[in-house]
Chains A and B, each alone.
Chain A
Amino acid sequence: MARRVALTGSVAIVLIAAVLFYLLDFLFTAPPAISAVISGGEAHLTLQTVPSYGHAPDPDWVSYLAKDQDGHWVHTTIYKVPAHTLVTVTVYQYDTATGLRNPFLGQVRGTVGGVATYNGKVLSVLDPNDASHTFTVPDLGISVALPGVNNNAPNQCSAAPCPLSEAHTTITFSFMSPGPGTYRWQCFVPCAAGFYLGNGGPMQTLGWMDGEIEVT
């Protein structure tokens, strides 16, 4: 009887420990935060989107990366920017177009002038079919669709970080950061290959196609 109780107790403890470990790991594991580069009173974020990360744990997942203060690419989607500051974002986009599920998100919103610069061309709306990803901060009303590279473009990137010598589009836009707080951002293109409606995996995971902007 005592042996049975001890065995049952041991199994229960192991199970409870496993559940606690999972919960704590989920709650306290987060991608690193990258601070925007400050120059001339403005903040600058440099990002890239890649069609497949190319490394463990999920080499075939689509992802964002960010450049740190030293110019190194870091696999993260947590950005720190100062409050009430002009933030200029440059995105090097290496993925091909998937298209928007909701064409409305082709509209550039919340940026300075309501526009973004696409390969040097200033636009307020991107053809929804040309979108590969979006950079959207719903709570700040910011949304910029990112055009994909041509399907037949030579020299396409297959693993992060992608160099500028490989096929990409360049998008720049600016916005005024709000007061201190944490604001979620996400991609609105269903770009998670192999997942239901393209919205699983990297679309549901911090550090890939979802992130946070920490305004300090």
Chain B
Amino acid sequence: MSAVAHDAGGPGEPRHGVRIATIWAVATAVCVPLMIWVVGPHIPPYNGSLQTKEQHDVNVTLASLAVPILLMIWVYFGYSIAVFRQRGTVIVDGPPDTGEPRIQVLWVAVTSVLVLGLAIYGTIGLLGASKGAGGGQGPNPLVKPENANKILQVQVIGQQWLWTYRFPQYGGVETPNLELPVNEWVAFNVTSLDVIHSFWAYELGVKADAVPGSNNIAYAKPLRLESFQVRCAELCGIWHGHMNMVGQVVTKAQFASWIASQDRKYAGVTKYLPPYAPYYYPVPLRRG
């Protein structure tokens, strides 16, 4: 038998648990503030909208909560490798595990509290100020901004392989460009004319599946004058990887000017568009 096996729990044995807990507490006290104040500001998706702000806060919170757990594993492993490693040339078994009900109960209790706490935290986030956290809520959203029917409505139309946008409050004009007013709530009514796409406005924190025959509503409130990327996040065919465009958050006055220019520019084709509807079953499908 090795010295470790003989001495386990003996009178000369150091208090390993206290040592591990102390190292872990010190490392946690150092690393958690670093995660919050040094790494945290660089964790996406930043603060382009109310939704991304909340997503960013959630990411920082989760990362900060994960740090003590990660450190516990690393410290325990590191300590075990350094202190409990097999010495000498003879390989022998260590002392048998006998089970420790208190630790087991503590483990289940702590992890349960963590998981349930995060579930409650996430639910509050979803139902709170961000009104769905930028996710598609289907045709009947559970949470809406105040006066949801009066905020800017933007219909996002996915098609292989292009995004176009209709503005029902501005004569139903359709355009391949997207500008949005800053500090104003926007309702994205996302649909598709063919297969399933996914509207992902990264800097706005919006992601909603574009499903044919369905109106998937997501809300966002842009907070900064900046450009934002739109991508398709659902594999949709040969040009899926090119289904990108860049939108712009502008002032309210600039938006009014822009939407008026789009109305003039596309007046000729607007008369051919179907009446605005939550989704379309377009004809012709003769070929198909």
Residue-wise interface mask of B (153-172) relative to A, using a CB-CB cutoff of 8 A (1 in contact, 0 not)? 00001011110100000000
A196: which B residues are within 8 A, CB to CB?
A: 288
Distance in angstroms between the alpha carbons of A195 and B287 in the assembled complex: 8
What number of A residues sit within 8 Å (CB to CB) of B? Answer: 36
What number of B residues sit within 8 Å (CB to CB) of A? Answer: 29
Report whether B288 and A104 are in contact in the complex, using a CB–CB cutoff of 8 Å. Answer: no
**Given A141-B176, A186-B161 in contact, is the A195-B272 Cβ separation under 8 Å?**
no
Report whether A102 and B159 are in contact in the complex, using a CB–CB cutoff of 8 Å. Answer: yes
**Given A188-B159, A198-B287 in contact, is the A104-B174 Cβ separation under 8 Å?**
yes
B284: which A residues are within 8 A, CB to CB?
A: 98-99, 101, 129, 190
Question: Which residues A163-209 have CB closer than 8 A to chain B?
Answer: 184, 186, 188-193, 195-199, 203-206
Give the contacting residue for B269; candidates A98, A106, A198, A205; CB below 8 A. Answer: A106
Residues of A near any B CB (own CB < 8 A): 98-99, 101-104, 106-107, 109, 124-125, 127-129, 136, 138-139, 141, 184, 186, 188-193, 195-199, 203-206, 210
In the complex, identify which listed stretch (B17-25, B98-106, B127-135, B234-242) lies at the interface while the others stay far away. Answer: B234-242
Give the contacting residue for A103; candidates B194, B237, B242, B272; CB below 8 A. Answer: B272
Q: Please, which residue of chain A has its CB at the minimum distance from the CB of B174? A: A104
Question: CB of B109 within 8 A of chain A?
Answer: no
Given contacts A101-B194, A104-B176, A106-B272, 12 further A-B contacts (CB under 8 A): A101-B285, A102-B159, A102-B164, A104-B272, A107-B268, A109-B176, A124-B268, A138-B176, A184-B239, A184-B242, A190-B288, A206-B238
Expressed in whole angstroms, the minimum distance between the Cβ of A166 and any Cβ of chain B is 21
Report whether A102 and B287 are in contact in the complex, using a CB–CB cutoff of 8 Å. Answer: no
Report whether A210 and B239 are in contact in the complex, using a CB–CB cutoff of 8 Å. Answer: yes
Give the contacting residue for A190; candidates B164, B194, B238, B266; CB below 8 A. Answer: B194
Q: From DSSP, what is the main secondary structure of chain B's interface residues?
A: loop
Q: Please, which residue of chain B has its CB at the minimum distance from the CB of A141? A: B176
Nearest 7 A/B pairs, CB to CB = A198-B288, A198-B287, A107-B269, A99-B284, A125-B268, A197-B288, A103-B272
Q: Please, which residue of chain B has its CB at the minimum distance from the CB of A125? A: B268
Distance in angstroms between the alpha carbons of A192 and B194 in the assembled complex: 13
A205: which B residues are within 8 A, CB to CB?
A: 238
A189: which B residues are within 8 A, CB to CB?
A: 287
Distance in angstroms between the alpha carbons of A98 and B285 in the assembled complex: 8
B6: which A residues are within 8 A, CB to CB?
A: none
Q: Please, which residue of chain B has its CB at the minimum distance from the CB of A139? A: B242
Question: CB of B96 within 8 A of chain A?
Answer: no
Give the contacting residue for A195; candidates B161, B239, B273, B288; CB below 8 A. Answer: B288
Question: CB of B193 within 8 A of chain A?
Answer: yes
Question: CB of B286 within 8 A of chain A?
Answer: yes
Report whether B239 and A125 are in contact in the complex, using a CB–CB cutoff of 8 Å. Answer: no
